[in-house]
């Protein structure tokens, strides 16, 4: 009978030690949850970067293979036109603000000759 009590005590101590390591030791459950959140954030960032890389790769492919992308960039960024085309530039007038006279301020204690 005594042997069972020692075995039971040993198992209870082992369980307590394992619980302590699970909650407070290195690699505890809090650290695991924090690392899982960091992994999720990094995966989200990687997905965004992967989409950007795919868009850039498609643009590079389009620039290498197609003339329409080159023509579009030349028109929008460099202002180029084809021979025989007419170019019209529409310039809008900037709104003119009415001139305001400078405010005249007379303060108490000013020289009487300076006050109108």
Q: Which residues of 7-17 are buried (b: 16+ CB within 10 A; e: fewer)?
A: eeeeeeeeeee
- For residues 35 and 48, what is the distance between their CA atoms, to the nearest angstrom? 20
**Phi then psi for 14, rounded to 5 degrees?**
-65, -45
Percent of residues, the chain, with pLDDT higher than 90: 27
> Contact at 8 Å (CB) between 29 and 22?
yes
Distance CA 48, CA 36 (A): 19
Per residue in 65-100, pLDDT (tens digit) is 878 777 887 888 888 888 888 878 788 887 777 777
State how far the Cα of 60 lies from the Cα of 100, in Å rounded to an integer: 55
Q: Answer yes or no: pTM beyond 0.85.
A: no
């Amino acid at each position: 009978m005594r042997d069972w009590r020692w075995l039971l005590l040993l198992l209870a101590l082992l369980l307590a030690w394992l619980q302590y390591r699970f909650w407070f030791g290195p690699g505890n459950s809090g650290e695991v949850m924090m690392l899982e959140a960091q992994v999720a954030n990094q995966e989200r960032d990687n997905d965004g970067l992967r989409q950007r890389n795919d868009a850039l790769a498609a643009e590079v492919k389009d620039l290498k293979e197609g003339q329409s992308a080159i023509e579009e960039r030349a028109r929008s960024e460099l202002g180029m036109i084809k021979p025989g085309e007419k170019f019209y530039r529409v310039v809008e007038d900037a709104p003119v603000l009415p001139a305001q006279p400078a405010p005249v301020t007379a303060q108490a204690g000013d020289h009487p000759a300076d006050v109108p």
